[in-house]
Amino acid sequence: MIRAGFSGLLCLAFFSFSGCGGVKKARAKRIAEKAFEHSENGDYEKALSTSDIAVSLGSEDPKLYALRGMLFVFVGEPEAAAENLEKGIEFAKALEDDAEKESILGRMNSDLAAAYRGSGQYQKALEISEANYEQQKDDPAFLNNYAWFLAVCPEESVRDGEKAVKIATAACELSQWEEFHIIDTLAAAYAEAGNYENAVRWQKRAIQTAKNGESPVTVDEGIHERLKLYESGKPFREDMEAEYREQIDTQRSAPSDPFAP
């Protein structure tokens, strides 16, 4: 009995250097899966505390860190969110499956840039977007967010109208000019570049595209207010921190998975 107990203690003491390490990793994986289940059920506090256990067991699953990034945003801790996303990105870089690596890195970098934008750390958000442009230049969602940021950011040093026009145009082409919110971004980019004739033209196109959509959408008043701004020769500036909080509140109301389709 004594020898058996001593062996158990040795196993615990040398988890990472013996076969017991595999048991530890398996347990971390099971607990991580539980964290995802809690998140999908909308129990974010429990999901976060469960994910803490998986992390303490040495989980290196980048998706778990993506989940933790989202959860920390939900509980109002943007710095912890960014820290976990950064850790997850490092783990994702070690993945052997290139397709999976590219997908996860793209999503996590986008989430990290959004977290920085939402917390007013605009230069950090800009650095991430610039660093990931080549990798994600065929992703219309990434291009749309990047162009919008360059066009409407409240910090003057970040804004670049000409670059925003170029990126937004590419996003419109990739989406076959069918997404009203991307055309809306193009209009904002032209306004930032001082080309109000095109800003008005594309804002009207965005409104019409929204009305003609196969699935009718309720267009928020903002899209009409922006048209009035451009018609009066003024650009649009977004309170990105307030907008981010509003988006988070909306996401909190539904079960969430950071890698759901």
* CATH code of the domain in which 190 resides: 1.25.40.10
Q: Looking at per-residue confidence, does 120 or 195 come out higher?
A: 195
The tens digit of pLDDT for each residue in 145-192 reads 999 999 999 999 999 999 999 999 999 999 999 999 999 999 999 999
Does 112 lie in the same domain as 98?
Answer: yes
Does 160 lie in the same domain as 175?
Answer: yes
The tens digit of pLDDT for each residue in 87-96 reads 999 999 999 8
Does 32 lie in the same domain as 56?
Answer: yes
Does 163 lie in the same domain as 56?
Answer: no
Read off the pLDDT of each residue in 201-210 and give the average, rounded to a whole number. Answer: 96
- Residue 63: pLDDT over 70: yes
Residue 68's nearest CA partner among 94, 96, 90, 87 is 87
The tens digit of pLDDT for each residue in 26-48 reads 999 999 999 999 999 989 999 99
**C-alpha atoms less than 13 angstroms from C-alpha of 258 in its C-beta half-sphere:** 31
Does 85 lie in the same domain as 51?
Answer: yes
Query: Cα 51 to chain center, whole Å?
Result: 19
Task: Give me the number of domains the chain comprises.
Answer: 2
Residue 249 lies in a domain: no
Confidence of residue 252 (pLDDT cuts 50, 70, 90): low
Distance CA 15, CA 19 (A): 7
* Average pLDDT score, the chain: 86
Q: Looking at per-residue confidence, does 67 or 78 come out higher?
A: 67
Residue 201 lies in a domain: yes
Long-range CB contacts for residues 229-236, cutoff 8 Å, separation at least 24: 229/191, 230/187, 230/191, 230/196, 230/199, 230/200, 230/203, 231/196, 231/200, 233/196, 234/191, 235/151, 235/152, 235/188, 235/191, 235/192, 236/151, 236/152, 236/188, 236/191
Confidence of residue 242 (pLDDT cuts 50, 70, 90): confident
The tens digit of pLDDT for each residue in 94-110 reads 998 888 888 888 888 88
Domain range for 107: 21-136
Confidence of residue 12 (pLDDT cuts 50, 70, 90): very low
Give pLDDT, residue 173. Answer: 98
Does 30 lie in the same domain as 131?
Answer: yes
Read off the pLDDT of each residue in 190-204 and give the average, rounded to a whole number. Answer: 99
Confidence of residue 246 (pLDDT cuts 50, 70, 90): confident
Residue 108 lies in a domain: yes
From 119, 136, 153, give the residue that closes a domain: 136
Residue 260 lies in a domain: no
Does 118 lie in the same domain as 156?
Answer: no
Distance CA 56, CA 195 (A): 54
Residue 118 lies in a domain: yes
Does 152 lie in the same domain as 76?
Answer: no
Does 85 lie in the same domain as 60?
Answer: yes
Does 110 lie in the same domain as 30?
Answer: yes
Q: Looking at per-residue confidence, does 171 or 77 come out higher?
A: 171
